[in-house]
Homo-oligomer: A and B are copies of this chain.
């Protein structure tokens, strides 16, 4: 059989094609010249599978969709504290092109409005030989898994009419948020907006966010989990509408749109989504794109508050083995966060005191959080106190050095089979 997921995406695309609301962004000729009927949708899973349909090879400029990634890059490079000194995290309640400085601190309210995005661009560390826009292009190319390029015509054209961004730049310079020549920063920001992508690129880019910062195809860690958490949090409250509550209740997916017609969304641990349709509504969002997000949230339960109870699946199986069944094996599976650890420990409570050897097998875990490791080893300690010899089998090396600290002696790196052989 073939998975019906591509058909489902195609179906969604088709049923939204009737929506001809909105109009092409027209403030520069290059944006107004595209084919308004272009339409594409892509979806990625946390393991890097990508489904796409429609005009999924058409390139378009990222525009404001570049903002969360410039924010991510700045966070990764200079850290949360320094970024928070210059840009806040609150929804502005105002249109995207307002200045929206915070009252006391005089810094832009968030990195998704233009004033905040210009400031964020300036936070990418200055390098003499590699411009900030180029640094971001390289970073996004890494996320996308292919070399992206700038749309020079769009860039050149936007430069000419960038009155508002120039205004914001000078205002930020006045209040001291920008410390360099605002003209250069604004130009760099406009260049950042001109990076070209397809929906497939975007799906892969968002898959990295959905996957906690790890590029699922290469396995490379490109962003810290804390950076991903920060970026998604800000996308949720500031990414789409001036009014955060509307998007959160009706769609519930952290998202960001660009005026060229793209929208991206991320459900952490689950999926990345990317849409492209150039007709934009009065809020500057792709009209069809918004409809697609609404449908996918409603029809496919893709909503942040549709929490997945994963604790019950942590125990793959428990069985006795070895001579006189004196070895008890617990095979774990999935992710070990707080909730799963709590469940595991609750199960271990039923293990009667005694001398039986307890083997906790991590081979099928895909991720172990620090809190999971801590709780795991705390369980190990208590089992030992009950008289059991205990071993943790980590043949895949999922535990980091830091997580094992002080407990290395109980960790075995062999395959489970191999290890169990000794006790037959």
Measured CB to CB, the residues of A under 8 A from B are 1-5, 8, 45-47, 49, 88-91, 93, 97, 99, 110, 163-164, 166-171, 173-174, 182, 210-212, 225, 228-230, 232-234, 236-238, 243-246, 248-249, 252, 254, 267-271, 299-313, 316, 333-335, 337-340, 342-343, 345-346, 348-349, 351, 353, 366-367, 369-372, 375, 378-379, 382-383, 385-386
A168 contact set on B, CB distance < 8 A? 167
Residue of B nearest to A173 (CB): B163
Can you name 19 extra interface pairs (CB under 8 A) apart from A211-B309, A300-B338? A1-B348, A1-B379, A3-B348, A47-B311, A90-B245, A90-B246, A91-B244, A163-B171, A164-B170, A233-B248, A234-B249, A236-B248, A302-B338, A304-B304, A308-B339, A309-B366, A309-B367, A310-B313, A316-B316
Residue of B nearest to A228 (CB): B305
A2 contact set on B, CB distance < 8 A? 349, 382
A309 contact set on B, CB distance < 8 A? 46, 211, 269-270, 334-335, 366-367
Known: A4-B375, A110-B245, A174-B164. A305 touches B233 (CB 8 A): yes
C-alpha spacing A225/B301, complex, angstroms: 10
Please give the count of copies of this chain that the complex contains: 4
Q: Pick the contact of A90 from B5, B232, B244, B351 — CB < 8 Å?
A: B244
Q: Do residues B45 and A90 form an inter-chain contact, with CB atoms below 8 A?
A: no
Q: Do residues A89 and B249 form an inter-chain contact, with CB atoms below 8 A?
A: yes
A270 contact set on B, CB distance < 8 A? 307, 309, 311, 338-339
A230 contact set on B, CB distance < 8 A? 249
Q: Pick the contact of A89 from B49, B228, B246 — CB < 8 Å?
A: B246
Q: Do residues A245 and B1 form an inter-chain contact, with CB atoms below 8 A?
A: no
Q: Do residues B211 and A233 form an inter-chain contact, with CB atoms below 8 A?
A: no
Known: A91-B245, A230-B249. A306 touches B3 (CB 8 A): no
Q: Do residues A243 and B90 form an inter-chain contact, with CB atoms below 8 A?
A: yes
Closest 10 CB pairs of A and B: A269-B307, A268-B307, A167-B170, A89-B245, A1-B382, A167-B171, A313-B334, A3-B345, A90-B245, A163-B174
